[in-house]
Amino acid sequence: MKNRLARRLRVAWACTFSIWWWLAASGCGPRTTLGPSASTADEARKEAAPRQGDPLALYFSSTESGWVLFPKALWQVSDGGLSWAQQASAGAGTSFRSMYWSGAQNGWLICDDGMLRTSNGGSTWARVLQLPKTHWLNAVWVNGNNGYAVGGRLAGDFTAEPVLLQTTSGGTDWKQATLNAEGLGTRSPLDLYSIYFLDGNVGWISGTSAIWRTDDGGVTWKPSRISVRGLHDARLERLQFSDGAHGFARYGPARGAVPHELVRSSDGGQSWNVVDPPVEEETTGLADVQFLSESTGYSLFQGRLFKTMDGGGHWQSLDPRVDADLIYFVDQDHGYLAGRDRSLARTADGGLTWQVCHKPE
């Protein structure tokens, strides 16, 4: 008798506990809370903080100070990446697209609807250009009083035309300029993506499967039609030249994000050849590239960082300790990597070792 009673009590207790556990798990049961736990408080703080997303542009004017641009905010970084201060925010319905800095004081922000300029290191920003909804800009370059901005505009249903703007006032006022399309064939470039100048005279502008070079500061531009591996509608981005002959760029389809390949030119941009990637996957996924000279450069393939000392002939794998999207080296030794949600790492020995300055939010 006693055994049956004890067995019934155990069953009743188990059923009661199961019902209580189900109610608690479903949020209907009683809760006793003495205060938020550390993990709960951290999660709440993370949820309240706005996500930054993937970085769009990275620039450092010195080994300690620079800027990181995200779609909705520009952050100034100091103390070697340890201190962050937000400088500019995109308004509702507007996003940033790119930025350019000429030293530590003069900078330009490209927005969906125009351009902003600062002359005091980003303390204040003023609008210098308002674009129609049918226009957009991708890149800007200014040297002293002279400069150019490149992009495109809608010309009809599913068609676009290149846009080239010029300034002679140090980036305060902008006017429409033209590019010579002679020799490019019947298919004109749909968009202009990148601009790079070695100095005040020698520079390049790239479009859809086309590139222009100037040797007189933009007074005249010489066009060339380019094609890599038979790809005739492709972007040539991240233009950079170490001298008048040797250059590197990211090359990929005009529509779609991948694949992108690293290409190299040794004739001033007239022809380009694919650089063998340091990874064996068919989809190379080149995110960013920076060459400090004809031979020394860094690349981000498949989320991994590599260094070359022979112009891309051989690559050394590095361990940056962060998932990076952008590279910027101030000199041969000091460089930074930026990733999603304000993650940042720095090196002071040419990429051999890395220090995490700021972890993702």
CATH of the domain at 293: 2.130.10.10
Please name the residue that has the structure tokens 């019902």: 19
Average pLDDT, the chain: 82
Counted domains in the chain: 1
Specify if 18 maps to a domain: no
Is the pLDDT score of 350 beyond 90? yes
- C-alpha distances in Å from residue 60, one per residue of 78, 79, 121, 276, 334: 9, 12, 12, 29, 10
pLDDT category at 146 given cuts 50, 70, 90 is very high
Per DSSP, the three-state class of 98 is strand
Domain hosting 302: range is: 57-358
For the stretch 220-245, pLDDT in tens is 888 888 877 766 678 889 999 999 99
Specify if 48 maps to a domain: no
pLDDT value at residue 188 = 57
**Who wins on pLDDT, 226 or 67?**
67
For the stretch 177-194, pLDDT in tens is 988 766 555 455 678 999
Residue 172 to residue 115: CA distance in whole angstroms: 10
N-term to C-term CA, the chain? 63
Share of the chain above pLDDT 70, in %: 78
Specify if 218 maps to a domain: yes
Is the pLDDT score of 329 beyond 80? yes
Specify if 10 maps to a domain: no
Specify if 229 maps to a domain: yes
- C-alpha distances in Å from residue 161, one per residue of 32, 134, 219, 354: 64, 11, 21, 43
Q: Give the helix/strand (H/E) hosting 25.
A: helix 2-25
Specify if 219 maps to a domain: yes
Is the pLDDT score of 270 beyond 90? no
Specify if 279 maps to a domain: yes
For the stretch 38-53, pLDDT in tens is 333 333 333 333 457 8
Specify if 35 maps to a domain: no
Nearest to 74 by CA among 8, 121, 136, 20: 121
Spatial contact of 275 and 226, defined as CB atoms under 8 Å apart: no
SS3 content of the chain, % helix, strand, coil (to 5): 10, 45, 45
* 189-220 burial: b if 16+ Cβ within 10 Å, else e: bbbbbbbbbeeeebbbbbbbbbbbbbeeebee
